[in-house]
Amino acid sequence: MMQETLNVMPPVVTVDPKIEDSWKQALTEEFSKEYFLRLKEFLLAERKAGQVFYPPGSLIFNAFACTPFHEVKIVLLGQDPYHGKGQAHGLCFSVPERVSLPPSLVNIFKELASDLQIPDPRHGNLEKWARQGVLLLNATLTVRANQAGSHQNKGWEDFTDAVIYSLSCQRTGIIFVLWGKYAKGKASLIDASKHHILMAAHPSPFSAHHGFFGCRHFSRINHLLTQMGKPAIVWALD
């Protein structure tokens, strides 16, 4: 007599990151994918080995906490968190108050002043922008202390690509701001028939004079928002 073989499926392993609920719903399938499980294992191994990485665990998903899925009006894409102590707090280009401004952020404020005559703020915390619908997204959400790019190609890029693609598919009228070659490479994830894409050189001192200065993206963003019947962004931080 032949015994019936039961096909017992292995249990599905899930990860429950502390991410804002609307994003958790939009990205729910990502957290059980193999790349995300490998990413979690990598971060746990880093911590077990005594490696310090930034931002602190509670701020890794800060961009999502500040800008829920259905409130995103603009996506500003960075590449890597700042790798100095106390700098990264989960928002691209941003630093907490009372932290010295990194060179790229200095140049961002220079362009803002030139474009909209907004004087340099007293700090570099861009959370006010995030609360108005500017998703300040780094492609890689963590970095080892003092080692730029050290957490690249570990799975974060797959996750943040899914973020961009989900916004492109599920929303309309978002303004994607792509500064520099790396960010411009993400344009293929965006449906340009439904969204706006603004591209320029990176604000780094190495490239800002080759197309970032003079791009006037801040005024162009507000013009596009007004055309769509949405409130303009208040760029002044003070």
pLDDT tens per residue across all 238 residues of the chain: 334 333 433 333 334 578 999 999 999 999 999 999 999 999 999 999 999 999 999 999 999 999 999 999 999 999 999 999 999 999 999 999 999 999 999 999 999 999 999 999 999 999 999 999 999 999 999 999 999 999 999 999 999 999 999 999 999 999 999 999 999 999 999 999 999 999 999 999 999 999 999 999 999 999 999 999 999 999 999 8
**Is 16 among the residues known to form the active site?**
no
Element (H, E) at 200: strand 196-200
Q: Among 80, 120, 158, 191, which one carries the catalytic annotation?
A: 80
The length of the chain in residues reads: 238
Q: Please say whether the dihedral angle defined by the alpha carbons of residues 208, 132, 127 and 92, taken in this order, is positive or negative.
A: negative
Q: Is the bond leading into 203 cis (omega within 30 degrees of zero)?
A: no
pTM of the model: 0.92
CA–CA separation, 162 vs 99, rounded Å?
A: 31
For residue 199, the cross-strand partners are 178
Tell me the two tokens of residue 137: 């997204």
For residue 136, the cross-strand partners are 76
Tell me how far CA of residue 217 lies from CA of 116, 163, 171, in angstroms. Answer: 10, 22, 21
For residue 135, the cross-strand partners are 75
CA–CA separation, 175 vs 10, rounded Å?
A: 42
What is the DSSP code (8-state) at residue 15?
Answer: -
CA–CA separation, 27 vs 160, rounded Å?
A: 10
